[in-house]
Structure 1
Amino acid sequence: MANTVIIGAQWGDEGKGKLVDLLTERADGIVRFQGGNNAGHTLVVEGKKVVLHLIPSGVLHQGKTCMIGNGVVLDPEVFCKEIDTLGEQGVPVGPDRLMVSLRTHIIMPYHKILDAARESSKIKGNKIGTTGRGIGPCYEDKMSRIGIRAGDFLDEDLLRRKIEAALPEKNALFAMYGAEQLDVDQVFEQIIPFARRVVDYIDDVPAKIQGLQAEGKSVLFEGAQGTHLDIDHGTYPFVTSSSTVSGNAAAGSGCGPATIEEVVAVVKAYTTRVGEGPFPSELEDAVGDHLGEKGAEFGATTGRKRRCGWLDLVVMRESVRLNSPTGIAMTKLDVLGGLEELKICVGYDYKGQRIEYPPQDQHGLAEVAPIYESLPGWNEDISDITSFDALPANARAYIARVEEVLDVPVSIVSVGPGREQTIIR
């Protein structure tokens, strides 16, 4: 398999985990390149549900090297718990199968406290919808050059000194928000049991990627969240704290951009969004309820109910422009079954003019009106269909219209949550 990046093309929750799990069979190495445990990938293998937040989805396949890149922020407690949970489910994960980059930044206890304190202090309407897991504050420390990295766990004296250097500023912020003060010993004792376990997994991820390439082996790059949650290109300020687009796969892993050969954009057959922010095609009616209930639209990480709407090809055009996908993987096509009429958003009315791409100003997306095309639906259950030609004619027409508007082939179609419920064209 070519070196491939898997990205979400909407606001996350597109089903990337299933695609990574599926394509891992053809890859030799799998690397997660951004985000933290604010993302959750839900996999269903042989009827058993597995939810992963940090460890790459490819861990369910034996003989594969899974890596957590420097672009990720890692909560060591969550990391250890995930390893333990996988072990309890019969999937042992040792350092021979999983490695963490020395340059991966660490989410500390004070990051989580600060994240929650900030969000709770905001008035309704100004909340970002953060998961409160310390992701943003950890990235802040990274950019401020005071962050703690996985490699620091190898020197406990250095770790303590870096905690001591970070706390004065954090305690000043806690005082402002009315949160409890922390001391060095308290933080050190809280983090050190997990740090001592993480050190077994720390390794040189860029060198491993280079080694796989030298051996003619392939690497799969796994992203989290979605394109329109990107810190630069998403619906700011209702975004995540990292770059989610395909171009960040190289920077967040430690390899050159020429390493990347293919980009698969994962697209849900409709659109969902968790948390705050504009959503032009959102449905707050019986159809929206149908999509939410049939699609089991609840966040894998937070359990929050997802907002549902028609497929928005305007935001998808932007995703194509930002990611240069060589193919689209469409998930949850089966959820549309039973709807007599389907709609896709093909343009926006913005200040009296039709536009084909989202407005670039901060508030523009909240001011657009979607322009829809209608297509006939289908009633057949497609969850057991294994070939594209066997899909109902209206389902094939729906996919064909998406391909026509975006000028990108839909190469993979998912018709259910199971690994086997996938059509590869």
Structure 2
Amino acid sequence: MNKSIIGLQWGDEGKGKIVDFLSKQFDLVVRYQGGNNAGHTVIVDDVTYKLNLIPSGAIRGKSCFLGQGVILDPEHFINELNSFKRKIPNPVIYLSSNISLILDYHKKLDKINESILIGESKIGTTAKGIGPAYQDKIGRKSIKLHDLGNEKNIEDKLHNIKEFYDPILLKFGEEPVNIQANKSFLSKIYEDISGLIVDNNFINENFNNKNILFEGAQGALLDLDHGSYPFVTSSNTISTYIPIGSSINSSFETLGIFKAYATRVGNGPFPTELNNSIGNYMAEKGFEYGTVTKRKRRCGWLDLVSLKYSCKINNVKELCITKVDVLNELDQIKICKSYEGKLFNEINFSDSSILDKLKLNEEDFVIFEKWGDLSFLKSMEDMPLQLKKFINFIEDYLEIPINLISFGPDRKETIVK
């Protein structure tokens, strides 16, 4: 059975590690949305892999595919690929010819967009050009991978882009679109990656009846339509987008991943956020600094209200909990079970103004005792009683089994139920 791996929070749940852990069972690993604003860190035998675009299944030598829903910064991709090849030679990676590209003017526009927002209305974008590149895709101005072999096509598109964006760029003190420089850049890119570009039919024909693992980026609560708008990413992160972003119309079951606590990068509602020493402890113990931005993540207690919402919109069948080791030494561990007494079906998670006004109280939380060191864990039988109670409560609340438990960054620090 094909499987999708979906983050159920605001990203950074540990999807990269779990994709690597599970990918041995699959023939193809597919990325279907997002760009190099996502970051996955995987540790195998003391070797650390930091990936933004390359699916984590490549570490095991699995075939990987970046689908048409991905936005590609070609320069970043080539640098990442060359760096990866120094550790894993000859990875098998395919790029959909329908992928839209990020170019220099997208990054300038991203900075401009963020600069004109005021105070808490700022999104906290990675400034990688993701949003403007998706805007071009919707506005039918994208330069796609299948354009790269057609110099006239590229020149015509760049002229239209220049006419459209130069007034904005110049108004904010940025250099105008340089047609010749972009043409030369794209010509060089085509030389470097033309051998990786395939049309969607190639994937469907060559991996028909194969086992496929779909790797999500970011998290469900950042989904463009289902997240806390406007503090969302620029793509649809939930499982229903997979057939569109991958062009693979195969059935799959969804494994939802969440941390034993919650984190968020950038601005936006965060009902269980801890602006205190416990939140700082989580950030330091959990190394909660963005793979892409290096920014310190905001930290808070696990939120089952939003988690149940994420499970519903993704049709999650099984769960994986990560980073339970980060909470080892806290005297008390809390879980949020309601928002001012309200449950998930009483909340509009797409309306940031509602979430911002929430004032949680003690009755909204359940308290658990600490479970201590987990370095000795080998199986479920070894698990401390307090951690079992913590996990059982989550399963009962969400009505979905937790089949994977991760208690450290290494591939080996994982228990299968």
Asked whether the two chains share a fold, i.e. TM above 0.5, the reply is yes
Q: Could you list the per-position Cα deviations for residues 306-333 of structure 1 after superposition, in whole angstroms to 9, with x for gaps in the alignment?
A: 0000000011011011001111111001
How far, CA to CA, are the matches of 1:384 and 1:303 in structure 2? Answer: 31
Are 2:10 and 2:219, in contact at CA under 8 Å, matched by a contact in 1?
Answer: yes
Which one of 165, 168, 174 corresponds to residue 170 of structure 1?
165
Match of 2:356 in 1: 366
Deviation for aligned residue 1:155? 1.7
Are 2:309 and 2:344, in contact at CA under 8 Å, matched by a contact in 1?
Answer: no
- Normalization by structure 1: what TM-score? 0.94
Gaps of 5+ in 2: none
Gaps of 5+ in 1: none
Q: Could you list the per-position Cα deviations for residues 120-172 of structure 1 after superposition, in whole angstroms to 9, with x for gaps in the alignment?
A: 23222221111000000010011011111111112233222211221111111
Aligned length: 412
Structure 1: which amino acid aligns with 2:342? Answer: R
How far, CA to CA, are the matches of 2:281 and 2:409 in structure 1? Answer: 17
Matched, 1:98 2:93: yes
Match of 2:379 in 1: 387
Are 1:121 and 1:177, in contact at CA under 8 Å, matched by a contact in 2?
Answer: no
Are 1:32 and 1:221, in contact at CA under 8 Å, matched by a contact in 2?
Answer: yes
Structure 2: which amino acid aligns with 1:80? Answer: I
Matched, 1:343 2:337: no
Structure 1: which amino acid aligns with 2:121? Answer: N
Are 2:68 and 2:100, in contact at CA under 8 Å, matched by a contact in 1?
Answer: yes
Are 2:148 and 2:186, in contact at CA under 8 Å, matched by a contact in 1?
Answer: no
% identical aligned pairs? 40
How far, CA to CA, are the matches of 1:340 and 1:401 in structure 2? Answer: 18
Structure 2: which amino acid aligns with 1:407? Answer: E
Match of 2:152 in 1: 157
How far, CA to CA, are the matches of 2:183 and 2:33 in structure 1? Answer: 26
- Normalization by structure 2: what TM-score? 0.96
Structure 2: which amino acid aligns with 1:333? Answer: V
Matched, 1:136 2:114: no
Structure 2: which amino acid aligns with 1:391? Answer: M
Secondary structure in 1 matching 2:81: helix
Are 2:269 and 2:352, in contact at CA under 8 Å, matched by a contact in 1?
Answer: no
Are 1:70 and 1:105, in contact at CA under 8 Å, matched by a contact in 2?
Answer: yes
How far, CA to CA, are the matches of 2:375 and 2:152 in structure 1? Answer: 56
Match of 2:254 in 1: 263
Are 1:329 and 1:412, in contact at CA under 8 Å, matched by a contact in 2?
Answer: yes
Matched, 1:243 2:269: no
Which one of 309, 327, 330 corresponds to residue 321 of structure 2?
330
Within a 5 Å distance, the mapping from 1:274-289 to structure 2 comes to 274-289=265-280
Deviation for aligned residue 1:206? 4.5
Are 1:100 and 1:201, in contact at CA under 8 Å, matched by a contact in 2?
Answer: yes
Matched, 1:297 2:293: no
Are 1:342 and 1:374, in contact at CA under 8 Å, matched by a contact in 2?
Answer: yes
Are 1:30 and 1:65, in contact at CA under 8 Å, matched by a contact in 2?
Answer: yes
How far, CA to CA, are the matches of 1:82 and 1:414 in structure 2? Answer: 27
Structure 2: which amino acid aligns with 1:11? Answer: W
Which one of 175, 197, 200 corresponds to residue 195 of structure 2?
200
Which one of 120, 135, 156 corresponds to residue 115 of structure 2?
120
How far, CA to CA, are the matches of 1:399 and 1:293 in structure 2? Answer: 23
Secondary structure in 2 matching 1:151: helix
Q: After TM superposition, what 4+ stretches of structure 1 lie above 4 angstroms from structure 2?
A: none
Match of 1:424 in 2: 416
How far, CA to CA, are the matches of 2:213 and 2:30 in structure 1? Answer: 6
Structure 1: which amino acid aligns with 2:144? Answer: R
